[in-house]
Structures are given as structure tokens and as C-alpha cells.
Amino acid sequence: MIIIRQGDPDAAKEYKRFECKRCRCVWIAEKGEYKSGMQYNELYYHSSCPTCGKEAYIPEYPTFT
């Protein structure tokens, strides 16, 4: 076997970046630390803020303005 480019094992992990609207905490959650759900035919991810406990939501495909 010849490896053309060495892979990154951490790239296979799924990370999501969340920001709390209440306390402005920013954190990165690994798969298993966040959940997903559907709303208005769009997929959203949500996680509890580690500081204040409020749920933070992000869409599957975030829009940047």
C-alpha cells in the first residue's frame, strides 16, 4: 500500500460550534454532546450552554450575512 496523503483521525469526528445568546459563551461540542432536530423542514443542532444551561441552536447550513 502506498499512502499518497496521510489522513487526520480528528477530521472524522463531528464538531459543531455553538454560541449562547444569553451569556455569550462559545463552545465546540463533539458528536454525542449535541442533538439534532427538524423545524420547518430544516435540520438544526442544539446543545446546552456549559455556563448558564440555556439551549443554543445552529442550522445545518448556517447563513452568513
pTM score, whole prediction: 0.71
60 contacts: CB under 8 Å, gap ≥ 6: 42, 43, 44, 45
**Parallel, antiparallel, or unpaired: how do β-strands 15-19 and 55-59 relate?**
unpaired
Give the pLDDT of the chain (65 residues) as one tens digit per residue.
Answer: 888 888 877 766 788 999 999 999 999 999 889 999 988 888 999 999 999 999 999 998 755 55
The domain locations on the chain are 14-59
**Parallel, antiparallel, or unpaired: how do β-strands 35-39 and 55-59 relate?**
unpaired
